[in-house]
Structure 1
Amino acid sequence: MSTPKTTPGKYLPGSDSFDLSAFPPYWVARLNAKYAMEMEKKLKAVNMDVSRWRVAMLLRIHEELSISQIAEEAIAKLPTITKIVYRMQDEGIVTVKPSTTDGRVSIVSLTDKGHSNIQEVNETTQKLFKRLFNGVSDTQIQRLNATLQQMLNNLMED
């Protein structure tokens, strides 16, 4: 199976034929910035922020993760995630305990308060997500996700 071809110059910022409006990272960055601004507004109303929300959502999905797994999933620096996790522990949103198989590893899980907070956040952000996906079909979302995943995988290769 052959690799699909791209129009080289159109997508390369150093090229004379570069087209910003056709450059996916431009749209990803704009979407991410606007999304973060909108989420911050919604989350502030329920005493939450995007960083803590990301950690809490990962824990809601996975039940428990090590701090390094959270950092890997969130594509964030380990020291940053460590600070966020311990701040969340101080707030009673998560528990942190040593791994039963490796005492050097800290395992994080949501508390009952954390689960309650996520439920409140989800109720608060529903309108935002409905607005985000308005007019976008399941097929479009699946194709977009597959393309973004491929691009991320390309960047992960070294």
Structure 2
Amino acid sequence: MAQSERFVDNYLGHLLGQANHALYKEFDERVRAAGLSPIEWRVLATLHDGEPLTVSQLAREVLSKQPTVTKLVQRMAEQGWVEMRADAADQRRTLVAVTAAGRRVVKPLVEEAKQHEARILRALGAMEKRTLRQLLEKLVAL
């Protein structure tokens, strides 16, 4: 008797989770070897080449809760990787920016991440890569 197909085998959430795990499982070891936790990596990777973000914006970007990110950026500020400052447009908001020290920590990892992603996606053609990115961007925008 043939085994019936399991629900999770075609469930998009499961497939996306499996793809995420495949992409990060090896790279996560490099992040930890560099002395960063996965969330610290996400914070520095998010901030390293962009404008400062509010804590709430940063929490959304790194897929974490605001209180967790607030505590995290306070610790990262103590380490000198980020700085927190009042938003000139609204003194009630706090902006988080990467420091030069934070950039030095994250820059080699960003380069490694690009190489790692290229290795993982080598099995896909250029059109498939483009389509995959477009579809994922579309899902994220929902």
Shorter-chain TM-score tier = 0.7 to 0.9
Indicate conservation of the 8 Å contact 2:54/2:94, yes or no.
yes
TM-score by length of 1: 0.75
User: Is residue 46 of structure 2 the alignment partner of residue 58 of structure 1?
Assistant: yes
Correspondence for 2:99 among 102, 111, 118: 111
Q: CA deviation at 1:19?
A: 4.9
Indicate conservation of the 8 Å contact 2:83/2:98, yes or no.
yes
Match of 1:139 in 2: 127
Indicate conservation of the 8 Å contact 1:54/1:74, yes or no.
yes
What count of residue pairs does the alignment treat as equivalent? Answer: 139
Where 2:45 maps in the other structure, the secondary structure is helix
Q: Which runs of 4+ in 1 moved over 6 A?
A: none
Q: CA deviation at 1:148?
A: 2.1
Q: CA deviation at 1:32?
A: 1.7
Give the whole-Å Cα distance in 2 for the aligned partners of 1:140 and 1:112. 37
Give the whole-Å Cα distance in 1 for the aligned partners of 2:138 and 2:89. 34
Where 1:61 maps in the other structure, the secondary structure is coil
Q: Percent identity?
A: 23
Q: CA deviation at 1:121?
A: 1.6
Indicate conservation of the 8 Å contact 1:71/1:78, yes or no.
yes
Give the whole-Å Cα distance in 1 for the aligned partners of 2:37 and 2:24. 10
Give the whole-Å Cα distance in 2 for the aligned partners of 1:55 and 1:119. 13
Match of 1:128 in 2: 116
Instruction: Kindly provide the amino acid, as one letter, of the partner of residue 107 in structure 1.
Output: L
TM-score by length of 2: 0.83
> Which deviates the most, 79-88 or 122-131?
122-131
Where 2:60 maps in the other structure, the secondary structure is helix
Indicate conservation of the 8 Å contact 1:56/1:114, yes or no.
yes
Instruction: Kindly provide the amino acid, as one letter, of the partner of residue 28 in structure 1.
Output: L
Q: Relative contact order, CA 8 A, sep 6+: which one is greater?
A: 2
Give the whole-Å Cα distance in 2 for the aligned partners of 1:150 and 1:125. 23
Indicate conservation of the 8 Å contact 2:39/2:62, yes or no.
no
Match of 1:70 in 2: 58
| Higher Rg of the two aligned structures | 1
Instruction: Kindly provide the amino acid, as one letter, of the partner of residue 33 in structure 2.
Output: A
Instruction: Kindly provide the amino acid, as one letter, of the partner of residue 131 in structure 2.
Output: R
Cα distance 1:152–1:124, how it changes in 2: closer, same or farther (>3 A)?
closer
Match of 1:80 in 2: 68
Unaligned runs of 5+ in 2: none
Give the whole-Å Cα distance in 1 for the aligned partners of 2:5 and 2:31. 41
